[in-house]
Structure 1
Amino acid sequence: MYLYKELNIDEYINKKDSFCVIDVRSESEFEEDHILGAINIPILNDEERIIVGTVYKEKGVKAAKILARNLTMPNMLVKLNKIYSIIESSKKIPLIYCARGGDRSGVIATFLAMENTYVFRLTGGYKAYRGYVLNYFNKIFDKKIKVFYGLTGTGKTELLLELKKNNLPVIDLEGLANNRGSVFGHIGLGKQPSQKRFDTMLFDALSIIDEKYIIVEGESKKIGRLYIPEQFYDKMTFGDSYLIECSLESRIKRIIDEYGGYLTENKDELIRSIEVLKAHIGNEKIGELIGKFNSGYLNEVVEYLLIYYYDILYEKNRKAKKKYMFNYNTDNVVECSKIIETDLK
């Protein structure tokens, strides 16, 4: 009898560099989230999976399994050859997983074992991995968090990227979320990842940092439509706080430099975002701002939104007056980063 070996999630995490990971779930399952570095070779594609699921509901397990086998077998050799190619190029041990460690991964692992391939299957599949990620935030993550706060346009993200370039342990939450964390934060960036994918990418980023602390930008609990994991956010709330400041002129220039191209190329999207603010600054002012934007007075639009929307919102959302470890000026981000590096040593 040809057998593959089972590998539990803790064993995988401890030896993950030894494996080439093959995800045999459908394309949409893989897109929603997957193990870092996994390669998707679906045993059933999205359409086939839906058909099998319908048969399962209407006719039961046996009929669904027969249909799945009939759909899978004609292309099995093609799928196996793709997997053999991955194994050969990676020079690593194959680890196969599906949603819960069931038939999909079992079939592929069995075929590989029949060809005398040394192969593992992940016990519990993606569900076990997802459970590990959630447990990491609940119980395992224990690093100190240093949080940099500041008004919109003070260059927090720019500063953190400069610090990261100099090998400080920075986590770019907005980069992971693909959103700049404001009403206009989505413009020009495309869609955000799923919540599960965001959690996994954050876990992946944290797991490779050896330092006892990490640096993040102060955020609300929600970035676009994604939520920062609750336990991680709680640690941010009680982490060491640092304040970033700069002149209003620098803030306006920075926003126009960062957003300018996106704003002019995505006018309709920007106007829709401005209209969302009607409840905060009134219909009349919204119309005036849109008129100024269409006439090219971007500086005036940005200045008004900073003073009369973002700054007010920032102060309102601060739950209490924070006590900051240090205050920094980011009119010159490079010089500011050098000072911070010295302070954090």
Structure 2
Amino acid sequence: MTNVTDDFLSIVLNETPLLDVRAPVEFEKGKFINATNLPILNDEERRLVGIRYKEAGNSAAIKLAESLIQNEGKEKRVHLWQDYLKKNPEAKLYCFRGGQRSGIAQEWLKESNIDITRLKGGYKAFRNFLMQQSEDISAITPTLILGGRTGSGKTILLNKLQNAIDLEGVAHHRGSSFGSFVNAQPSQIDFENNLAYRLIQFHHKNFTHLVLEHESHNIGRTFIPKPVYDNFMQGELVLLQTPIEVRALITYEEYVLGALKEYALQYGEEGPKKWAQNVQSGLKRIQKRLGNQLYRQLAQLFDKAYSQDTQAEAKTFYLEWIALLLERYYDPMYDYQIKKSPLPVVFEGNTIDVLHFLQHQS
């Protein structure tokens, strides 16, 4: 009997390794946590087989696939799968619909005395499960939305809670005009899949509330699916109050020191220059909203900070630049959003008070 499973819940809760035999182009478009792509057909082979399928049907497509792979190609693929399964013996196998490609891979591995379970319905069925679970869980889970002005330390606080999901972390973006990392954000599909994993894992820990940061629908170039976002926004608001000097320092440590380190690791000696160019581009993007006078003032402050010879000298100007940007741009924008927000405010206070409150709502 064919060894298949549709126990997708177990796969999520255990973060089971997954062997994805789809073509690389399919994998890049959308994948799952802990999935490794070792395709049975490369992109060009998949394209040719697809054309043959449309022109002459399934049997002709299978014959073409077999001729493209041939014996040497088969041995190479099986060898790669064997190496992966030695390191991940509990892995499950899938293709797009759980049919021919994963079925053939399963048979080839069986010939090598390796039994592997494949996903019933493949990638498509598993993704449908994840999307439905995201909607269902977000609909029944009370949420506490952590708000606060930019730089308040919301992410730092979230990471101290067991019943929180860091949406910016899942989106790999800091959530502002200057929030991009060196490495690209996940694709939209990957973001949705990863968020679903987090929601399912959260749900099965039996917390009473889910804590999230107060986010817009979009986080960088990814967006929270509308039904899920609407469910999140049925919650209650907790406001974190942090003095401007602390907020400027938190922002400096993350957006300046942390970002410079990240760029240096990625680009070496060119890192600081590339980081500065990215910040200058970020300022340019919001120039119209800043107004020309404030834009020039901020641009000059940043250039002055960046041109200093020592980190200690630069820090003073960076903190001045950050404080001005927070007070004149981000604070009015956030205060307006809070004022018009329909979410009821159930608590507000400093970091210690808010953390204590949220820890007692788990």
On the 8 A contact 2:32/2:194 being kept in 1, the answer is no
2:329 corresponds to which residue?
309
2:178 corresponds to which residue?
184
Q: Which of 8, 26, 47 is the equivalent residue of 1:29?
A: 26
- Pick which of 319-328 and 52-61 moved more: 52-61
Report the CA distance between 1:158 and its aligned residue.
1.1
Q: Unmatched 5+ residue regions in structure 2?
A: 261-271, 306-316
Which residue identity is paired with 1:194?
S
1:47–1:337 CA distance, 2 compared to 1 (3 A): farther
Which residue identity is paired with 2:226?
E
Q: Deviations over 1:270-312 (max 9, x none)?
A: 1111011122122343233212211113233222221221112
Distance 1:120 1:299 in 2: 56
Q: Unmatched 5+ residue regions in structure 1?
A: none
CA RMSD of aligned residues (A): 2.6
2:74 corresponds to which residue?
76
Distance 1:21 1:148 in 2: 34
Distance 1:12 1:158 in 2: 32
TM-score, scaled to structure 1? 0.85
Q: Which of 217, 224, 237 is the equivalent residue of 1:221?
A: 217
Q: Which of 97, 102, 105 is the equivalent residue of 1:105?
A: 102
1:299 corresponds to which residue?
319
Q: Which of 243, 248, 252 is the equivalent residue of 2:248?
A: 252
1:57–1:273 CA distance, 2 compared to 1 (3 A): farther
Kindly report which structure 2 residues correspond to 1:117-266, keeping only aligned pairs within 5 A, or say none: 117-141=114-138, 142-161=140-159, 163-164=160-161, 168-186=162-180, 188-209=181-202, 210=205, 211-261=207-257, 262=259, 265=273, 266=275
Distance 1:62 1:147 in 2: 55
Distance 2:336 2:354 in 1: 28
Report the CA distance between 1:15 and its aligned residue.
6.3
1:290–1:53 CA distance, 2 compared to 1 (3 A): farther
Distance 1:111 1:72 in 2: 13
How many correspondences in the alignment? 331
Report the CA distance between 1:218 and its aligned residue.
0.8
Distance 1:235 1:71 in 2: 48
On the 8 A contact 1:26/1:45 being kept in 2, the answer is yes
2:287 corresponds to which residue?
278
Q: Name the SS for the 1:301 alignment partner.
A: helix
On the 8 A contact 1:25/1:42 being kept in 2, the answer is yes
1:38–1:322 CA distance, 2 compared to 1 (3 A): closer
1:77–1:310 CA distance, 2 compared to 1 (3 A): same
Report the CA distance between 1:52 and its aligned residue.
3.5
Identity %: 31
Structure 1 segments (4+ residues) deviating >6 Å: none
1:314–1:258 CA distance, 2 compared to 1 (3 A): same
2:266 corresponds to which residue?
none
Report the CA distance between 1:79 and its aligned residue.
2.0
Which residue identity is paired with 2:65?
A
1:103–1:321 CA distance, 2 compared to 1 (3 A): closer
TM-score, scaled to structure 2? 0.82
